[in-house]
Structure 1
Amino acid sequence: MSTATTARGSPGNLPAEVTSFVGRRHELTGVRRMLATSRLVTLTGAGGVGKTRLAQRIGLDMRRAFADGVWLVELAELRDPDLVAVTVAEALGVREESVSSGAPGLVTFLADQQALLILDNCEHLVGACADLAETLLRSCPGLRILVTSRQALRIAGEATLTVHPLSVPDADEDCTPADLSRYESASLLVERATAVLPGFAVTEANCATISALCQALEGMPLAIELAVARLRVLTLDQILDRLTDRYKLLTSGARNAPARQQTLRALIDWSWDLCSEPERLLWSRLSVFSGGLELDAAEYVGADEKLPADAILDVVASLVEKSIIVRTGDGPRARYKMLEVIREYGAARLVAAGEQAGVARRHCDWFARLAAYGDTHWVSPDQAALMLRLRHEQANLRVALEYAVTAAAPGTALRFAADLQNHWFVRGFLSEGRHWLDRALAMPAPRHWTRVKALRVAGWIACVQSDPSRAETLLTEARSLAMTLPPSPELAFIPLIEGNIAMFGGDHAKALPLFEQALTRFRELGSLSGEMWTLAVLGLARGLADDDPTDGYPDLLACRDLAAANGEVWWRSFAMWALSVLRWMAGDLAGAAEAAKESLAVGKLVEDEQFSVGLSLESLGWVCATEQRDQRAAVLLGAAERVWQAMHASLASFHGLQDHHDEAVATIRARLGDRAFDAAFRRGSELSTAEALTMALERPAAPEVPAPRAAAAEPAATADTRLAELGLTRREREVITLIAQGLSNREIAARLVVAQRTAEGHVENILSKLGFTSRAQVAGWLAAQRDT
Structure 2
Amino acid sequence: MSTATTARGTSGNLPAEVTSFVGRRHELNGVRRMLSTSRLVTLTGAGGVGKTRLARHAGLELRRAFPDGVWFAELAELRDPDLVAVTVAEVLGVREEAVSPDAPGLATFLADRQALLILDNCEHLVAACADLAETLLRACPRLRILVTSRQALRIAGEATLTVQPLSVPESDTACTPADLARYEAASLLVERATAVLPGFEVTEANCATVTALCQALEGMPLAIELAVARLRVLTLDEILERLTDRYRLLTTGARNAPARQQTLRALIDWSWDLCAEPERLLWSRLSVFSGGFELDAAERVCAFPPLAADSILDLIASLVDKSIVFRVGDGPRARYKMLEVVREYGAARLAEAGEQQEVAQRHGDWFAELARYGDVHWASPDQAALMLRLRHEQANLRVALEHAVRTAPPEVSLRFAADLQNHWFVRGFLSEGRHWLDRALALPPARHWTRVRALRVASWIACIQGDRQRASALLADAKALNATLPPSPENAFIPVVEGNIAMFAGDPAAALPLFEEALAGIRALGSPSGEMWCLCVLGMARGLSSPDPSAGYADLAACQELAAEHGEVWWRSFALWSLSVLRWRAGDNAGAAQAARESLQIDALVEDEQFTVGLALESLGWVAVTERRDQRAAQLIGASDRMWSAMQASLSTFRAMREFHDEATSQLRARLGDRAFETAFARGVALTTAEAVALAMERVPAPRPAPAPDEPARLADLGLTRREQEVAALVAEGLTNREIAARLVVAQRTAEGHVENILSKLGFTSRAQVAAWLASQR
Match of 2:729 among 729, 733, 745: 733
Cα 1:639–1:353 change in 2 (3 A) is same
Q: Deviations over 1:480-539 (max 9, x none)?
A: 222232222332101111111121122333211111111111222221111100000011
In the alignment, structure 1 residue 780 sits paired with structure 2 residue 761: yes
Q: Which residue of 2 aligns with 1:312?
A: 312
Counterpart residue identity of residue 307, structure 2: L
Counterpart residue identity of residue 581, structure 2: V
Within-5 A mapping of 1:341-490:
341-490=341-490
Counterpart residue identity of residue 748, structure 2: A
Determine helix, strand or coil for the equivalent of 1:175. coil
Counterpart residue identity of residue 758, structure 1: A
Q: Which residue of 2 aligns with 1:102?
A: 103
1:719 touches 1:782 (CA, 8 Å); kept in 2? no
1:543 touches 1:549 (CA, 8 Å); kept in 2? yes
- Deviation at residue 669 of structure 1 after TM alignment: 2.4
In the alignment, structure 1 residue 713 sits paired with structure 2 residue 688: no
Q: Deviations over 1:331-365 (max 9, x none)?
A: 10111010000000000000010000000000001
Determine helix, strand or coil for the equivalent of 2:670. helix
Within-5 A mapping of 1:689-768:
689-700=689-700, 713=710, 715=712, 719=715, 726=722, 731=727, 733-734=729-730, 748-749=737-738, 758-760=747-749, 762=751
Q: Deviations over 1:98-141 (max 9, x none)?
A: 8764252x445444443322211111111222222233333444
Counterpart residue identity of residue 759, structure 1: Q
Within-5 A mapping of 1:202-241:
202-241=202-241
Determine helix, strand or coil for the equivalent of 2:249. helix
Within-5 A mapping of 1:156-171:
156-171=156-171
Counterpart residue identity of residue 780, structure 1: K
- Deviation at residue 456 of structure 1 after TM alignment: 0.7
Cα 1:725–1:657 change in 2 (3 A) is closer
Cα 1:127–1:377 change in 2 (3 A) is same
- Deviation at residue 603 of structure 1 after TM alignment: 2.8
Within-5 A mapping of 1:217-616:
217-251=217-251, 253-616=253-616
**More displaced, 679-688 or 518-527?**
679-688
Cα 1:441–1:756 change in 2 (3 A) is farther
| Higher-RCO chain (CA-CA 8 Å, sequence separation at least 6) | 2
Counterpart residue identity of residue 710, structure 2: A
Counterpart residue identity of residue 504, structure 1: F
Cα 1:622–1:235 change in 2 (3 A) is closer
2:49 touches 2:222 (CA, 8 Å); kept in 1? yes
Q: Distance in 1 between matches of 2:69 and 2:200?
A: 39
Counterpart residue identity of residue 125, structure 1: L
- Deviation at residue 760 of structure 1 after TM alignment: 4.3
Unaligned runs of 5+ in 2: 765-769
In percent, how many aligned pairs have the same letter?
70
1:2 touches 1:688 (CA, 8 Å); kept in 2? no
Q: Deviations over 1:236-286 (max 9, x none)?
A: 222222222222223574321111111111111111111101000000000
- Deviation at residue 14 of structure 1 after TM alignment: 2.3
Cα 1:601–1:388 change in 2 (3 A) is same
TM-score, with length taken from structure 2: 0.91
**More displaced, 108-117 or 499-508?**
108-117
Q: Deviations over 1:163-184 (max 9, x none)?
A: 0001111111122222211111
Q: Which residue of 2 aligns with 1:654?
A: 654
**More displaced, 554-563 or 477-486?**
477-486
**More displaced, 280-289 or 718-727?**
718-727
- Deviation at residue 466 of structure 1 after TM alignment: 1.6
Cα 1:193–1:677 change in 2 (3 A) is closer
Cα 1:778–1:299 change in 2 (3 A) is farther
Cα 1:372–1:528 change in 2 (3 A) is same
Determine helix, strand or coil for the equivalent of 2:146. strand
In the alignment, structure 1 residue 181 sits paired with structure 2 residue 181: yes
Q: Distance in 2 between matches of 1:477 and 1:723?
A: 57
Determine helix, strand or coil for the equivalent of 1:443. coil
Q: Distance in 2 between matches of 1:28 and 1:273?
A: 37
Cα 1:22–1:495 change in 2 (3 A) is same
Q: Deviations over 1:619-661 (max 9, x none)?
A: 2222222223333323333333333333333333222332222
Q: Which residue of 2 aligns with 1:632?
A: 632
Q: Distance in 2 between matches of 1:486 and 1:732?
A: 73
2:6 touches 2:646 (CA, 8 Å); kept in 1? no
Q: Which residue of 1 aligns with 2:767?
A: none
Cα 1:680–1:177 change in 2 (3 A) is closer
Determine helix, strand or coil for the equivalent of 1:250. coil
- Deviation at residue 590 of structure 1 after TM alignment: 1.7
Q: Distance in 2 between matches of 1:485 and 1:725?
A: 67
Q: Distance in 2 between matches of 1:713 and 1:512?
A: 57
1:303 touches 1:312 (CA, 8 Å); kept in 2? yes
Counterpart residue identity of residue 426, structure 2: V
Q: Which residue of 2 aligns with 1:744?
A: none
Cα 1:245–1:679 change in 2 (3 A) is closer
Cα 1:367–1:727 change in 2 (3 A) is closer
Determine helix, strand or coil for the equivalent of 2:204. coil
Q: Deviations over 1:192-217 (max 9, x none)?
A: 22222234332333222222221121
Cα 1:87–1:752 change in 2 (3 A) is same
1:288 touches 1:359 (CA, 8 Å); kept in 2? yes
Q: Which residue of 2 aligns with 1:770?
A: none
Q: Distance in 2 between matches of 1:331 and 1:527?
A: 31
Determine helix, strand or coil for the equivalent of 1:656. helix
TM-score, with length taken from structure 1: 0.90
Q: Deviations over 1:453-498 (max 9, x none)?
A: 1111111111111222222222222222222322223321011111
Counterpart residue identity of residue 147, structure 1: V
Q: Distance in 2 between matches of 1:721 and 1:289?
A: 53
Q: Distance in 1 between matches of 2:718 and 2:321?
A: 57
- Deviation at residue 80 of structure 1 after TM alignment: 0.6
2:95 touches 2:650 (CA, 8 Å); kept in 1? no
Q: Distance in 1 between matches of 2:406 and 2:100?
A: 18
- Deviation at residue 307 of structure 1 after TM alignment: 0.2
1:581 touches 1:592 (CA, 8 Å); kept in 2? yes
- Deviation at residue 96 of structure 1 after TM alignment: 4.7
Q: Distance in 2 between matches of 1:283 and 1:464?
A: 42
Q: Distance in 2 between matches of 1:676 and 1:202?
A: 59
Q: Distance in 1 between matches of 2:550 and 2:77?
A: 50
Unaligned runs of 5+ in 1: 740-746, 768-774
2:217 touches 2:223 (CA, 8 Å); kept in 1? yes
**More displaced, 675-684 or 407-416?**
675-684
Q: Distance in 2 between matches of 1:52 and 1:672?
A: 45
Q: Deviations over 1:49-80 (max 9, x none)?
A: 01111112212222233333322221111101
Q: Which residue of 2 aligns with 1:676?
A: 676
Counterpart residue identity of residue 645, structure 2: Q
- Deviation at residue 607 of structure 1 after TM alignment: 2.8
Q: Distance in 1 between matches of 2:250 and 2:720?
A: 69
1:684 touches 1:776 (CA, 8 Å); kept in 2? no
- Deviation at residue 710 of structure 1 after TM alignment: 9.4
Counterpart residue identity of residue 761, structure 2: G
- Deviation at residue 227 of structure 1 after TM alignment: 1.3
Cα 1:612–1:2 change in 2 (3 A) is farther
Q: Distance in 1 between matches of 2:720 and 2:485?
A: 77
1:285 touches 1:346 (CA, 8 Å); kept in 2? yes
Q: Distance in 1 between matches of 2:413 and 2:516?
A: 32
Determine helix, strand or coil for the equivalent of 1:89. helix
- Deviation at residue 396 of structure 1 after TM alignment: 0.4
Quote the RMSD (CA, aligned, Å): 3.2
